[in-house]
Structure 1
Amino acid sequence: MRLLLLAALRAGTGNGTTARRIQDHLQTAGHMCILKDTSDYESPLAVADLISSKNFEAALGIHIYKAGRLLQGSGIPFGIIFGGTDINEDAKCDKKSQVMGTILDEARFAVSFTEAMKETAASYWPRTRSKIHVQSQGIVTAHNPSFNWKKLLQSSGILQDNNCSYLFLLICGLRRVKDPLYLVDAFSDWHRKETAVHLIIIGPAVDPVFAEEVKEKVKRADGVHLLPEIPQEDLHAVVKNCFAVVNSSSSEGMSAAVLEAMDLKVPVLARNIPGNAAVITHKTTGLLYSSPQEFIQLSKTLISDPSLQREIVTRAKEYVTKHHSWDHERKAYQNMVLKLQ
């Protein structure tokens, strides 16, 4: 089939990574799958013109509201993949929720990353429950063994004289929903008492205005550092050599950064929100915190208890291997897309 895959592809979001992975799954099955950015199309009519001009036979959209509304009335069958914004934010707006329900009625199938997300969706749009499939994100990690991560951190003033700092890594595009400033004050206070701890925020400026706010805050915060986006394999090399990966988002669908850290056997401390709690069992596969103060407390516990570190990373790796198989995800999408024939 000639398939259109429609997603928001801006830098610093998980959508692009997810979309390219699904594109690869479908192309491996012999389909021609063309990836397009939702921001390039202002209306369903523009997408209908694209479909007509390129002879697409079916489509997939990532995010019900962002992509699905552009596929409404397109004349070709389509499926929808939920994003965290769909359930955590857009569904709470009555006007958007009504539109989303109509889109789900028209879709051949929908994909949710977690059972919890499916149940929440079914509570908003009960008549669509039977067409919602649960398929976790598949994870594959690869790091660049030749990447000089120490040089990167030294040139940024983070590591000096090869000291053995405890590096906490927060990976996110700089936008408000990721809330990268949530821990900054508490962490800075901690660093002033224990200079070996450092928080590194790394990622692109998705929201330029907010990114400036982050830069100004970090300049005044001891022990907190801001680095620009680097290639994924280099980033994974940094992950493997940090003490822990941090998530501070106020809303998540399913964080690829969290899953990748678990796969790389690095401890994760994540904000206790539904999207994170769906993949992390507290003190088993990671640590969940509900305030900056609790984050500091749990971090100190993790530093002082190497056996807890080993236990968490071992169980997290087992969890990711079992529940986030790339091969299983590939087969699932290759089977689901047959519903669009």
Structure 2
Amino acid sequence: MKILFLACLKPKTGNHTTAERIRSHIESAGHICELRHAGEFQSSADVNSLLSQDPPFQGALAIHLYRAGRLLLDVQLPFGVIFGGTDINEDVKVEQKRAVMEQVLRKARFAVAFTTKLKEEAEIHLMSQSSKIYLQPQAWHCKNVPNILIILGPNIDPVLTAEVKSAVKRTTGVFLAHERSQQEVHAAMKRSFAVVNSSVSEGMSAAILEAMHLRVPVLARNIPGNAAVVQHEVTGLLYSSPQDFLHQSQRLLSDQELRERVVRNGKLYVEEHHSLEKERETYQRLVDSLHSV
């Protein structure tokens, strides 16, 4: 089967990494999967122009119901969608976007949520039938010691980027770095004392899962997307404010037993709940269902 896969593919982002991994699952089952950046298309008409190619496409897949899923509304192909996180956490607050996402979800053969919380939110806000949404977590891939915080990643939001750069200039021990390849990021993680996730909105953070797999402690903001994978004091530490972040960081620095426990449990959690093989089987089965009656 030839599958069109739409996603936001800004280089060296979590979305790009996730899309490439899912694409490899689909192709390992013998399908052809053409991964395209949703930003290339303005409307379903542009997508239909691509679909007219020979040999024809027989199904489609999209990550993020609004950014990519809306482009499939008028195509005459069976398709499935994957919640991106911001679609359920943020875009549902905009009535026009919510209405579009409801249409996408109604027309989709299936939808995939990374966490139980995302699935529940989708059922509430998008009036979706629970049976259509499948749950599939992502798989991946001492005192007075000077500590530094390195913020690493691409500049996606110009306004937020300007705010962060301004704050960093006024702060000692905080540095900005450009995006890096996944291999370079993993190498940096291994040399770090901890990985911090400060997002205010998450679907499922690949960086958190990768850190756990690499046996690096995780400090994450206490939001639903992060709390779905980080159990406080078991697989990592959660914080709710700047003061709480400092407190939890000091605990991690001073309590060797705590550090060893969250590292050990984090590794076990990823191996048990974020199996690459299970993820591969799920997407292969769902893609096969696009061609069934």
TM range (shorter): over 0.9
Q: SS of the counterpart of 1:64?
A: coil
Show structure 1 runs of 4+ deviating over 6 A: none
For the pair 1:21 / 2:13, whether they are aligned, the reply is no
TM-score (norm 2): 0.95
The one-letter amino acid of 1:113's match is: F
Q: Distance in 2 between matches of 1:102 and 1:229?
A: 35
- 1:331 is aligned, of 260, 281, 284, to 281
Over residues 119-163 of structure 1, what are the superposed CA-to-partner deviations in whole Å (9 max), with x where a residue is unaligned? 1111123343211000011112xxxxxxxxxxxxxxxxxxxxxxx
Give the 5 Å matches for 1:118-133: 118-133=119-134
The one-letter amino acid of 1:117's match is: L
Q: SS of the counterpart of 1:53?
A: coil
Q: Distance in 2 between matches of 1:21 and 1:32?
A: 14
In the TM superposition, residue 338 of structure 1 has moved relative to its aligned partner by 1.0
Q: What's 1:97 paired with?
A: 98
- Contact in 2 for aligned 1:12/1:206 (Cα 8 Å): no
- Please tell me the root mean square deviation across aligned C-alpha atoms, in Å: 1.5
- Contact in 2 for aligned 1:59/1:78 (Cα 8 Å): yes
Over residues 274-326 of structure 1, what are the superposed CA-to-partner deviations in whole Å (9 max), with x where a residue is unaligned? 00000010000000000000000111111111010000100010000000111
Q: Distance in 1 between matches of 2:87 and 2:159?
A: 24
Q: What's 1:61 paired with?
A: 62
In the TM superposition, residue 50 of structure 1 has moved relative to its aligned partner by 0.9
Q: Distance in 2 between matches of 1:61 and 1:208?
A: 25
Q: Distance in 1 between matches of 2:160 and 2:60?
A: 34
Q: SS of the counterpart of 2:151?
A: strand
- 2:187 is aligned, of 225, 228, 237, to 237
Q: Distance in 2 between matches of 1:300 and 1:112?
A: 34
Q: What's 1:5 paired with?
A: 5
Q: Distance in 1 between matches of 2:144 and 2:216?
A: 22
- Contact in 2 for aligned 1:58/1:76 (Cα 8 Å): yes
Unmatched segments (≥5 aa) in structure 1: 141-165, 167-192
The one-letter amino acid of 2:46's match is: A
Q: Distance in 1 between matches of 2:20 and 2:180?
A: 18
Q: Distance in 2 between matches of 1:117 and 1:207?
A: 23
The one-letter amino acid of 1:24's match is: S
Q: SS of the counterpart of 1:130?
A: helix
In the TM superposition, residue 208 of structure 1 has moved relative to its aligned partner by 4.0
Q: Distance in 2 between matches of 1:306 and 1:77?
A: 52
Q: Distance in 2 between matches of 1:128 and 1:76?
A: 21
- Contact in 2 for aligned 1:4/1:34 (Cα 8 Å): yes
The one-letter amino acid of 2:284's match is: Q
Give the 5 Å matches for 1:216-227: 216-227=166-177
In the TM superposition, residue 195 of structure 1 has moved relative to its aligned partner by 5.9
Give the 5 Å matches for 1:170-249: 194=144, 196-249=146-199
Describe the shift of the 1:232–1:13 C-alpha distance in structure 2 as closer, same or farther (beyond 3 A).
closer
Q: Distance in 2 between matches of 1:205 and 1:309?
A: 31
Q: SS of the counterpart of 2:52?
A: helix
Q: SS of the counterpart of 2:68?
A: helix
Q: What's 1:187 paired with?
A: none
Percent pairwise identity:
52
In the TM superposition, residue 198 of structure 1 has moved relative to its aligned partner by 1.0
Over residues 188-229 of structure 1, what are the superposed CA-to-partner deviations in whole Å (9 max), with x where a residue is unaligned? xxxxx9561111111122234543432332122111111112
For the pair 1:106 / 2:107, whether they are aligned, the reply is yes
The one-letter amino acid of 1:106's match is: K
Q: What's 1:41 paired with?
A: 41
Q: How many residues align?
A: 290
Q: Distance in 1 between matches of 2:182 and 2:289?
A: 33
Give the 5 Å matches for 1:252-267: 252-267=202-217
Deviates more, 1:208-217 or 1:261-270: 208-217
TM-score (norm 1): 0.82
Unmatched segments (≥5 aa) in structure 2: none
The one-letter amino acid of 1:86's match is: D
- 1:293 is aligned, of 217, 222, 243, to 243
The one-letter amino acid of 1:8's match is: C
